[in-house]
């Protein structure tokens, strides 16, 4: 009866529908503000599925990807039933009513909500989150399969072109991720074909999210002079891999094996490049619209992979002082970019399920559904990172899938309601997920062939029985070289 009185005092039953422990990162106030800012407030005071419920429903769809609409909603409302205070006059809507409520909400409130709540979560004492006093972040993309409806096909398109189209429309999602926590704090969603659909074009909308204390890691696909300048002008430092075909003239050799060079826009021709280079070598200022001074770190890893797999890795950075970040430290730190793939795997495999197609049959609902995944993944990543920081371990040690299962069990925990009891439950969960039995073991150094488990529309071959990992007694050897240097 006491619980019944609490609910009665609080107002409508739907006001109490939340997403349990994950609401600590996606608070009800933030949800209501996003809904109001998008003009999606409830039209009726007695509606069964008000907007804030549907926002949490979108998150719950990500957490319970195997369940149908009605079961997902039942999970959200189950706690009130367990208290014995569920108003029998309020009947659970069917799948048709839930679909209509999703459509009324649209994707804009979730996009706005994600933009408001998603922030880097690593603290100063979080292990593996910092390099040379800078917060490690990375940018990369992934693709999702959407249902093969006419609307999705027309908007998102198919990968592989007309000669070898993919089985389902492909949705491209570009994410800006905090490396230490795998938390996504910036995202853009779009088609995989057509104008401005490439990762490089989509990334331009994410660079304004960078901050001066960050070090952005990016693969060779992202470099152009314009994009380099746009990212560098935010005040963040950059550490990008450079592809072939770009000259790197020597300005000055540095004591750690790296060297200073210049990069130019394509419009600057050879005679003017030579004049700018001479000015840089003489220590004079250069026009940053015509050239940018960069530091180059080139290296090879001789004790990983076979001869065919070894390659020259060339990095550009805005950190010009080698005493601030020595070349070998930068080379080691760049490989944290692969942690981005771990975050992608958490989203696509551990939350959505391997090989699973999204539910939504229209582009607007696809965007809403993906933002539900992003919000849920962000909340779980924040929970893991805080637990790891409190336990003084690297967040990578905490098992993501095990945490997801714990959160699923706790989604309807009565201890999460009312909110003033949530902090105690969160502390209990953080202690639980950071106990030894929920941690990944301290793994030895390993390397694996660059293969995929099933054929996809990319250049990587399918894994064979002979493609196995190799364990090494220590970290990789980094041989600094200057093979691309032009004196």
Instruction: For residue range 318-372, list pLDDT tens digits in order.
Output: 999 999 999 999 999 998 898 899 999 999 989 888 888 999 999 999 999 999 9
Phi, psi angles (nearest 5°) of residue 188: -135, 140
The structural architecture, per CATH, of the domain 119-339 is Alpha-Beta Complex (3.90)
CA angle 29, 30, 35 (to 5 degrees): 100
Question: Which tokens is 478 given?
Answer: 């980094």
Write down the pLDDT at residue 6: 40
Residues of the chain by 3-state class (helix, strand, coil), percent to 5: 40, 15, 40
255 and 320 Cβ atoms separated by less than 8 Å: no
Query: How far is Cα 41 from Cα 269, in angstroms, rounded to an integer?
Result: 57
Question: What are 458's two structure tokens?
Answer: 């990319």
- Cα 380 to chain centroid, rounded: 12
β-pair type (485-486, 248-253): parallel
Q: Please state, for a pLDDT cut of 70, what percent of the chain lies above it.
A: 86
Per-residue CA distances from 150 to 156, 158, 200, 346 (Å): 10, 12, 27, 29
Sign of CA dihedral 23, 28, 33, 36: positive
- Model confidence band, residue 379 (pLDDT cutoffs 50, 70, 90): very high
CA 342 to chain centre: 9
Query: Higher confidence at residue 103 or residue 306?
Result: 103
Instruction: Kindly report the average pLDDT of the chain as a whole number.
Output: 86
pLDDT at 73: 86
Query: Range(s) for CATH 3.90.350 in the chain?
Result: 119-339
Query: pTM of this prediction?
Result: 0.89
pLDDT tier, 473 (very low <50, low <70, confident <90, very high otherwise): confident
Question: What pLDDT sits at residue 53?
Answer: 85
> By mean pLDDT, which of 30-34, 101-105, 416-420 is the weakest?
416-420
């Amino acid at each position: 009866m006491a619980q019944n009185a609490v609910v009665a005092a609080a107002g409508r039953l739907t006001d109490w529908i939340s997403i349990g422990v994950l609401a600590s990162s996606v608070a009800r106030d933030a949800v209501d503000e996003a809904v109001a800012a998008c003009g999606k407030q409830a039209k009726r005071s007695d509606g069964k599925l008000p907007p804030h419920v549907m926002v949490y429903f979108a998150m719950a769809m990500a957490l319970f990807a195997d369940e149908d609409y009605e079961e997902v909603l039942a999970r959200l409302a189950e706690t009130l039933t367990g208290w014995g205070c569920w108003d029998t006059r309020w009947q659970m809507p069917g799948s048709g009513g839930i679909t209509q409520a999703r459509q009324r909400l649209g994707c804009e409130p979730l996009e706005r909500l994600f933009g408001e709540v998603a922030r880097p979560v690593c603290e100063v004492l979080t292990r593996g989150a910092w390099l040379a006093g800078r917060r490690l972040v990375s940018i990369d993309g992934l693709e999702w399969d959407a249902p093969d409806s006419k609307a999705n096909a027309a908007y998102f398109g198919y990968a592989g072109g007309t000669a070898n189209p993919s089985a389902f429309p492909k949705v491209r999602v570009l994410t800006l991720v905090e490396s230490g926590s795998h938390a996504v704090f910036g995202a853009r969603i779009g088609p995989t074909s057509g104008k401005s659909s490439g990762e490089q074009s989509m990334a331009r909308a994410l660079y304004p999210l960078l901050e001066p204390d960050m070090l952005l890691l990016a693969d060779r696909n992202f470099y152009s002079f314009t994009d380099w300048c746009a990212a560098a002008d935010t005040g963040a430092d950059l550490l990008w891999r450079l592809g072939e075909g770009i000259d790197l003239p020597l300005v000055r050799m540095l004591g750690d094996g790296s060297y200073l060079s210049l990069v130019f826009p394509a419009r600057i021709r050879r005679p003017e490049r030579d004049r700018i280079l001479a000015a840089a070598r003489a220590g004079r200022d250069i026009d940053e619209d015509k050239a940018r001074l960069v530091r180059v770190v080139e290296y090879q890893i001789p004790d990983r992979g076979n001869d065919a797999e070894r390659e020259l890795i060339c990095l550009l950075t805005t950190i010009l002082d080698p005493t601030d970040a020595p070349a070998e430290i930068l080379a080691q730190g760049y490989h944290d970019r692969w942690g981005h793939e771990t975050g992608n795997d958490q989203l696509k495999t551990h939350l959505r399920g391997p090989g699973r197609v999204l539910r939504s049959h229209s582009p607007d609902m696809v965007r809403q559904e993906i933002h539900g995944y992003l919000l849920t993944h962000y909340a779980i990543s924040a929970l893991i990172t805080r637990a790891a920081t409190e336990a003084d371990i690297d967040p990578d040690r905490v098992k993501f899938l095990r945490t997801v299962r714990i959160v699923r069990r706790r989604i309807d925990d009565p201890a999460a309601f009312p909110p003033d009891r949530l902090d105690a439950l969160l502390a209990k969960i953080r202690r639980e997920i950071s106990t030894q039995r929920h941690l990944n073991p301290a793994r030895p150094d390993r390397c694996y062939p660059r293969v995929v488990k099933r054929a996809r529309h990319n250049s990587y071959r399918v894994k064979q029985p002979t493609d196995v990992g190799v364990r090494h007694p220590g970290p990789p050897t980094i041989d600094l070289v200057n093979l691309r240097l032009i004196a």
